A = this chain, B = another copy of it.
Amino acid sequence: MHPLKQLMNPSSIAIFGASNNPMKMGTIQLANILETGYEGEVYPIHRSEETVMGVPAYKSISEVGKPVDLAQLVLPTEVVPEILEECGRAGIRRAIIISGGFKEVPGGEGVARERHLEEVAGRYGIRFLGPNCVGVMNSLCSLNTTTIINPPMGGSIAFASQSGAYTAMINPYLRSQGVKMCQTLSVGNEADIDLADCLDYLRDEEAVRAVGLYIETVRRPREFIAAARETVKKKPVVAIYVGGTEAGSRSSLSHTGAITGPDELYDGLFRQAGVIRAEDLDGMIDLLWILSMQPLPEGRRMAVITNSGGPGSSLAYHLEKAGMEVPAFSPRLRAKLDEATGPLTFTGNPIDLTFETNIFIFKQLLEMVFESGEVDGAFIYGIFGAPDFMVNLKKRLPHLQAMEDNWDEGYRAFLAELAAVPQEHGKPVVVMSFLGTGSGSIRSLIEHHVPVYPSAVRSALAMRSLLDYRAFRDGSGS
């Protein structure tokens, strides 16, 4: 069993550094463990407090008197090795070391302290994350040991990161996009467990369908490439690398004690490893989202179905820029599409429905273009929030209230059917919309595994990543 399996699914946790002082990071982390729904045993270890936030506390780990799966240490740097030693003596074999002040601190002292930590852990066979990290999240056991409340748990994306902030602070951004994460791992200085280990672990996690990595340095390139190549056979891996610039490198050194390499070197490393490189965190999330939900396209031919010209032109433009095709449809297919649509519809590719108000036609057209065999995937830009139009009308024409509500319900059912088309045909679909997760229609599409992006370029790059992954998986490069 991979050591991270127990660390990410502990039956019991001892936490060091939590108290009743709300200004302490350990206190915040314990509150999050207790309030996120974790059902295992939780043991606060505190020298003087009888209870910590209502939970019985123990003066030391040896007083617990039961086996403990995981220790999380949020303590002043100096005492960390000694407490880790106590944990080892008490039989604990997994730890998360939140405390900073190790390799990332300028001068040699921090490096020596980190070596001491490694020596203690090695002696007891303790496998650990950190030091200088923010904890983990695992939706499978409702575990959140980070400082951040209320992560959007679920879905099938996992993320391992050399930045703690990026695993925890991004929660509001994820929520605003409608994206969930099922596991996050903050690896900090990687004194023991590193990103290659995370890949080895996540490869066999059934619930995980796409893996993201934030990288300032790869400490064991050979093992990283091997781990990534094995992982990519089963699921896509997307990475961000920052560190290839002078200031980036200066920053990384002070951040996780990482020695960075030039950008091009990492481009090569990712290509060799079959890893898709994203530019930044927001882009990485875009790609992981579609990679975790949609089927892979057989080829590069894309259909665009829109009821608005600007988004249609923009999608066509950005699809071609990103190396895909938006082929003109055959006369045969155009004749079929013409029959189904009104006189103001342009049925070439893009299909532009212009002022068409019958939104139910989207599904019919999507099925037609998929059945034709002329495309490998499709993009839809639609007014998927039509009920919004009614708000001012309702104020002026009050009898509309009832109609709208019924219609809304039928509309939700329609969206579920529309969202099922990609899986039925084995061809990916991306929706472009400005409505965002404030709209029930958009939330409904997302719940049914259709990704929604608010721009043509983000939509195109998302689809492109499916092609890139397919090429890596099948061994033909990007």
Contacts and interface: CB of A to CB of B under 8 A. Distances in A.
Contacts of A385: 172
Looking at A101, A313, A320, the one whose CB has the most chain B CB atoms below 10 A away is A313
A250 interface: yes
A252 to B, nearest CB: 5
A257 to B, nearest CB: 10
A256 B313 CA distance: 10
Contacts of A244: 317
A169 B170 CA distance: 27
A316 interface: yes
Contacts of A247: 304, 316-317, 319-320, 325-328, 349-350
A385 B163 CA distance: 19
A238 to B, nearest CB: 15
Contacts of A457: 279-280, 282-283
Contacts of A113: none
Contacts of A454: 173, 282
Interface residues of A, number: 105
A357 interface: yes
Nearest to A32: B392
A248 interface: yes
A282 B344 contact: no
A23 interface: yes
A254 B23 contact: no
A391 interface: yes
Contact of A313 (B31, B243, B436): B243
A455 interface: yes
A100 B354 contact: yes
B436 A344 contact: no
Given A165-B311, A251-B309, 20 more contacts: A31-B392, A31-B397, A36-B392, A106-B346, A148-B389, A165-B308, A172-B435, A173-B435, A173-B454, A242-B317, A245-B317, A246-B320, A246-B326, A247-B325, A248-B317, A250-B328, A250-B348, A251-B350, A252-B309, A282-B458
Considering the complex of A and B, which 3 residue pairs feature the smallest CB-CB distances, nearest first?
A163-B310, A255-B309, A247-B326
